[in-house]
Amino acid sequence: MRTTIAHLPGSKIREVANAGLQRGGDVLAFWFGESDEVTPAPVRQAAADSLARGETFYSHNLGLAELRAALADYTATLHPAVAADRIAVTSSGVSGLMIASQLLVGPGDEVVAVVPVWPNIAAQPAILGAQVRRIALKPVHGAWTLDLQALLHAVTPGTRVLLLNAPNNPTGWTLTRSEQQAILDHCRRTGTWIVADEVYERLYFAGTGAAPSFLDLASADDRVIVTHSFSKSFLMTGWRLGWLVLPAGLCDAAGKLIEFNSSCAPVFVQRGGLAALAEADSSVPALVQHLKRCRDLLVAGLQAVPGVEVASPAGGMYAFFRLAGENDSLALAKRLVLDHGLGLAPGAAFGPEGEGWLRWCFASRQLGRLEQGLGRLRTALGL
């Protein structure tokens, strides 16, 4: 086994979840990044109909032509138009991120990642032999902020790729349009590729249809790859379906890598994706409004707890908070789940920059479930 692989850390979120499962009983699980609401019926029905028709064979590496066209149309409702031949369908958003890394990164390359972040994002280039340099967001009264000049200073002509996840998991930090423009202009000068994980772009609470995107600024020839997923905005986490928006001419190379990774996304899953896009005009805004109510309830409840530091996130589905005097997030998360049945993700799962913090996924179908969780937190703190 390669040393790099042997040294990959195990998932601390899974560690807490496994402890909760062993505990059994009435555990309120808020540890994973998914809603507790099932995929909408029209999506499930489209997949079932596809299976009933016998669509159980391979499809094109880059995805069904109908789905790529529908994704181009969907993108055009949010951003400047993107041609369907710049879109590659992938077997999950994380698969798309790995394809992007495989396209761009080799042993010894320098990659800069803005952190804390979902651990897979920074681990993928490291698996491929790259040297990953971490540039940390900084919390100010619970709100995580970017030192833009520090980031630009870190990205040099020797930097192969800049990895950005915004809206961010776990912090909810979101890039502004002016920050994106400054980053894009700088990376044009240095020749650095931008890989932008924008899977949470629709889960944005500022009153617009989507968070600021590099697709609003980049040309078809810019060194920018944007990754997306059906998991969050369409309640399809278990379906494993995503897509990439690539520069002109890069799709053929992506198709080769998809062949070597997964061959193609299952046809019946892609049919579900088509159904999800057909419902997007109504389903996604309704989901965002519900998540905003969840966010507001949870953040207000946390802010009312003595010793809690938290800010309302601009996007995503997480409250990232810390408790005064608690510096070992994994031990704290295990104590909360084992003693009180409250399942949260430890901040250390997202890198050392998140140590001392906890992530609470507020994507819950019932607001009362969040209120129950807040009650258990208060009990754990002796309040």
Where do the domains of the chain lie?
A: 3-39+281-380, 57-279
Q: Which class would CATH give 3-39+281-380?
A: alpha beta
pLDDT digits (tens, 9 = 90+) for 53-100: 999 999 999 999 999 999 999 999 999 999 999 999 999 999 999 999
Three-state DSSP class for residue 140: strand
Q: At 50, is the secondary structure helix, strand, or coil?
A: helix
Confidence of residue 108 (pLDDT cuts 50, 70, 90): very high
| Sign of the dihedral through C-alpha 231, 233, 236, 241 | negative
Q: What is the mean pLDDT of residues 9-35?
A: 92
305 backbone dihedrals φ, ψ, rounded to 5°: -90, 125
pLDDT at 171 over 80: yes
Task: Render pLDDT for 110-169 as a digit per residue (tens, 0 to 9).
Answer: 999 999 999 999 999 999 999 999 999 999 999 999 999 999 999 999 999 999 999 999
CATH number, domain 57-279, options 3.20.20.80, 3.10.20.30, 1.10.274.10, 3.40.640.10: 3.40.640.10
Eight-state DSSP code of residue 63 = -
Strands (E), 169-326: 193-197, 224-229, 242-245, 308-309, 318-323
297-309 per-position pLDDT tens digit: 999 999 999 999 9
